Chains A and B, each alone.
Chain A
Amino acid sequence: MTTERAPQPTTAMANPPVQPLASNLLPGDVVRASAMRDLPAPERQLTKVAKLIDVSRCIGCKACQSACIEWNDTHPEVEENVGVYENPHDLTPDMFTLMRFTEYENPETNEFEWLIRKDGCMHCEDPGCLTACPAPGAIVQYSNGIVDFISDNCIGCGYCVAGCPFNIPRIHKTAHVSKKCTLCSDRVAVGQGPACAKACPTQAIVFGTKDEMIAHAEMRIEDLKERGYENAGLYDPQGVGGTHVMYVLHHADKPSLYADLPDDPKISAVVKGWKGAAKDVGLAAMGLAAVGAMAHGALARANEVSAHDDAEAQEMVAHAAGRLTVEEEAARPPEGAP
């Protein structure tokens, strides 16, 4: 086994190095992990990476889906054709990325537009899934920005589904673990770009450092504007701290046109409250109540039955018994009889 670390990939275009290389995405590169607060400081800062999906260049061929299936060795179920282009019908535990097709009649130009968006994990800088996850280390974020699910630590509870602002994670029905796009962390670790970007025939999907991808997007946006798409722009939503999967959209003013891409995604306030204040205040309240009860038990006088109470009870029962008829009293079994 070689000890030479793979270089960080800066493109999906170049052919990968052919010599054996050791992984360059290490446990020490984890900057955040689910349900773990006191993580050791990362040993180094990797260059932030990103995947840029230029919707205007996508031809809907689904090569990215095929590449994803092949690289991740998933086996999506073969489904019925129901008259739409989405195939499979949705993201599934075996389909981490999905071309979503929207037929849009632009009211300004009266032109028909076919909007095709490659859906999948956005790799948020502030990931809702990681915030919601209760299992320590089941969701991690590396210093290059990749958000990854560690199946060995995943318990399959589905909290990540509630946490995600993009409706991405899917729970595997038999493995009972959550699945989503890994941004090909296992390829990136050895110096290669994501499989989908590698396979894309029109280079609608490109991969590199986040800075380079933003610069590349600006070029594309300029081009689109020259061609009349004056609202063209970059989708790098700041509500989740920016994402490591970004889109170039011809209608960046209306992201929801693209199969309900959220206009302003952010981690739900409900999720933040549940995972923030509720968690700590709740634990404190339960702890205080338990400690308080124990302290009261140790220090305060217990509520004891007095001899007077016993005597009064005796009197009450005897008095009532006195109302029984003589026959009934005689028929009553003696005290202590089985």
Chain B
Amino acid sequence: MTGEREYSAPGDEIETRKPVTVSRYRGITRLNHWVTAFTMIGLILSGMALFHPSLYFLTGLFGGGPTTRWLHPLMGILLVLSFLLLFLQMWRLNLPRREDAEWLANIKEVVKGEEENLPELGKYNAGQKFVFWGMSGLIVVMIVTGVMIWEQYFPGLVSIPVRRVAVAVHALAAVAAVLIFIVHVYAAIWTRGTIRAMTRGTVTGGWAYRHHRKWLRELAGRRKADPAE
């Protein structure tokens, strides 16, 4: 191996050289991501059903109101476990760096899709880091408040005044999480060539050069990992 990884995670490597494709997420990470994603979608649909009367019909997807009521918290537990595994794999590369401030200061260029004048970035940009830390924080808030209002197993865990606050905070955190979810999904669609990182696991060299140049540079400078790694 040549040198420490600063901008990349284990498993990130140049997959093919002509044309260049870069391995961004290993199979296990992709599986982990999609378990998290489908659990999150289930949580959003079941949670929305209990959040607003006009969406109560969504309980039909889960087999009715009572089933939705007991299923939602169980999905929540699954999400926390699944997300925790993602968190452990990704937190280091999501720590803020100096170039993030410059990237954020030029967010207009980002939105216009003109990345030429932006600083070179590692595996994640400030937007992705915001999604990562925002989701992480909100999931902690939702699991803590969720347990507090989990009638079936923790009916007397907190006093009723605390429970009122918990149920309101849980709803607000969920709204924020849905907004971040939308940002996450939309950014992946708008930035063409991104989705394949989570399906096939690879991105094109051009994609890596355009959006995460420091990451690509580091990988290009490394030898291809030998199978023993």
Contact B164 A317 (CB under 8 A): no
Contact B220 A316 (CB under 8 A): yes
Is the CB of B201 closer than 8 A to any CB of chain A? no
Interface bits A41-58 vs B (CB < 8 Å: 1, else 0): 000000000000000000
24 contacts between A and B (CB under 8 A): A155-B68, A156-B69, A157-B151, A162-B149, A162-B160, A162-B164, A164-B160, A176-B70, A176-B152, A273-B168, A274-B167, A283-B52, A293-B185, A297-B190, A303-B115, A304-B113, A305-B204, A307-B206, A310-B209, A311-B206, A313-B20, A313-B209, A319-B220, A332-B224
Is the CB of A5 closer than 8 A to any CB of chain B? no
Contacts of B192 in A (CB 8 A): 302-305
- Kindly report which residue of chain A lies nearest to residue B193, judged by CB atoms: A305
Is the CB of B208 closer than 8 A to any CB of chain A? yes
Measured in the bound complex, the distance between the Cα atoms of B216 and A310 in whole Å is 12
Tell me the dominant secondary structure on chain B's binding face: helix
Contact B216 A309 (CB under 8 A): no
Interface bits A96-130 vs B (CB < 8 Å: 1, else 0): 00000000000000000000000000000000000
Stretch touching chain A among B24-32, B96-104, B172-180 = B172-180
Is the CB of A14 closer than 8 A to any CB of chain B? no
Tell me the dominant secondary structure on chain A's binding face: helix
Interface bits A307-327 vs B (CB < 8 Å: 1, else 0): 101111110111111011000
- Kindly report which residue of chain B lies nearest to residue A311, judged by CB atoms: B206
- If the complex has contacts A293-B182, A296-B190, A303-B113, are A314 and B19 also in contact, measured as CB distance less than 8 A? yes
Is the CB of A79 closer than 8 A to any CB of chain B? no
Which one of A274, A285, A323 contacts B168 once the chains associate, using CB atoms below 8 Å? A274
Q: How far in angstroms is the closest Cβ of chain B from A172?
A: 11
B153-171 residues at the A interface, CB under 8 angstroms = 155, 160-161, 163-165, 167-168, 171
- If the complex has contacts A134-B53, A301-B113, A310-B19, are A286 and B179 also in contact, measured as CB distance less than 8 A? yes
Is the CB of A35 closer than 8 A to any CB of chain B? yes
- If the complex has contacts A306-B206, A309-B206, A313-B208, are A155 and B178 also in contact, measured as CB distance less than 8 A? no
Measured in the bound complex, the distance between the Cα atoms of B52 and A271 in whole Å is 14
B179-207 residues at the A interface, CB under 8 angstroms = 179, 182-183, 185-186, 189-193, 204-207
Which one of A167, A273, A310 contacts B204 once the chains associate, using CB atoms below 8 Å? A310
Measured in the bound complex, the distance between the Cα atoms of B124 and A62 in whole Å is 68
